[in-house]
Homo-oligomer: A and B are copies of this chain.
Amino acid sequence: MNFSSKILEEAVNQVSQLPGIGKRTALRLVLHLMRQPANQTDVLSQALTNMRHDLKFCKNCHNVSDVDICEICASHNRDKTIVCVVEDIRDVMAIENTSQYRGLYHVLGGKISPMDGIGPQDLNIKSLIQRIQNDGVQELIFALSPTIEGDTTNFYIFKQLNGLEVNTSTIARGIAVGDELEFADEVTLGRSILHRVPYENSLKN
């Protein structure tokens, strides 16, 4: 693109570094900001800078938090004997939105993925094992995405639990509520038959 201004070009280049945003979209966003009061851009810049420098992670579960121990870990209403292992904080938000889970979390910060150069030492696995050893955790729920990387990570953690007294479970895989059977992929459909649940149980929710 042929910019008539270096300042504009720099702004567009920086915005287009964000994932999923190309040069054209970046230009559209930047021109939108130009049409808004200068104040909006200042608040946006400040919010991003604050976020990047002041955001902390909970020392216990690695969820984002403004304090050392996050609200969930600090709450007296949560069951501290159950820990749900998730990939990142978006998964915590998704599960919290269901209002179905009253235990704690552990945010790994990713999945084991040799292709992307991410090994076990890059994830918060050590601190998870320490929590299980020291905090009286009785059940560990694996809630990673059902991909090869997710399954590998689950299995790696499972192996590390050797000798520790803790039950493990994974979230149920099956046909999504409201989905048509005929459009489900065969692996999911197959598992949903293998892991069928007593009909009375399905009435509870």
Instruction: Enumerate chain A interface residues (CB-CB to B < 8 A).
Output: 1-8, 10-11, 13-15, 17-21, 25, 27-34, 38, 40-56, 58, 63-66, 70-72, 88-90, 92-93, 96-97
Neighbouring B residues of A32 by C-beta, 8 Å: 18-19
What is the total number of copies of this protein in its complex? Answer: 2
With A and B bound together, what is the CA distance between A93 and B23 in angstroms?
Answer: 13
Query: Are A51 and B18 in touch, CB under 8 angstroms?
Result: no
- A6 in complex: contacting residue of B13, B34, B66, B96, CB < 8 Å: B66
Nearest chain B CB to A74 CB, angstrom units: 11
B2 adjacent to A14 (CB under 8 Å)? no
Residues on the B chain within 8 Å of A49, using CB: 41-42, 45
What is the chain B residue whose CB lies nearest that of A64?
B5
State whether A48 touches B44 (Cβ < 8 A).
yes
A119, chain B: closest CB distance, angstroms: 16
Q: Is A52 within 8 A of B64, CB to CB?
A: no
Residues of B close to A34: CB separation below 8 A: 51-52, 55
Q: Are A65 and B5 in contact (CB under 8 A)?
A: yes
